[in-house]
Amino acid sequence: MKSIAVFCGSRFGNNPVYEVYAKEVGTYLANAGIQLVYGGAKVGIMGTIADATLAAGGEVIGVMPKSLEEKEISHEGLTELHIVESMHERKKMMMDLADGFIVFPGGIGTMEEFFEVFTWNMIGILHKPCALLNVAGYYEGLIQMLKHMVDEGFLQQQTNQTLIVEETVEAVVEKMVEQSATLK
């Protein structure tokens, strides 16, 4: 794993543990020599992860569409910042730049990014590990919904089993490294 995209929110959420974990994620990636690819904002969880990665000496690549440049407030201290025309270009560039994907707690945009990557892996467009970082049980409802999809015959069990779900960034990255060897 040379680079990991982290999908996360431009807000902090209501539980202070999200910010604490965001700092841990950024510090861990930098210390492991893994480049962070993310949405390019300096606000919320996005900004926290980027700042922690940079503070620990890591490299950070941001990708932000023009339409969100003012709303999400682009981070000016990154290793690289790419301003693109659309959300589609943002996701495509992030997918191209990253060797894997961590889904941190976030909102609808985070879920949209997760489901696109998970679907693209399922249909063979991508062959890169995808993980839910289940901070403070944030993704328990989603995990149950995916199980329900399997039970109801709309999602194959083997596809659902490709999704990595862990509570620490160390465990997530370890499993992503293991899984990436089998996806090529």
Number of domains in the chain: 1
Q: Which tens digit of pLDDT belongs to each residue from 85-114?
A: 999 999 999 999 999 999 999 999 999 999
CATH number at residue 45: 3.40.50.450
Nearest partner of 29 among 168, 158, 129, judged by Cα: 168
Distance CA 124, CA 122 (A): 6
Residues 121-140: pLDDT tens digits?
A: 999 999 999 999 999 999 99
What are the helix (H) ranges across 35-168?
Answer: 44-55, 87-97, 108-123, 140-151, 157-160
181 domain-assigned: no
Q: What residues pair up with 6 in beta bridges, in sequence order?
A: 102
pLDDT band at 158 (very low <50, low <70, confident <90, very high): very high
CA distance 93 to 140: 29
pTM: 0.95
What is the structure's pLDDT at 184? 64
Domain annotation covers residue 103: yes
SS3 80: strand
Domain that holds residue 141: 3-176
Residue 91 belongs to some domain of the structure: yes
d(CA 91, CA 137): 26
Q: Is residue 46 part of a domain?
A: yes
| Domain assignment present for 36 | yes
In a domain, 183, yes or no: no
Domain contains 75 = yes
Least confident of 28-37, 51-60, 64-73, 117-126: 64-73
In a domain, 27, yes or no: yes
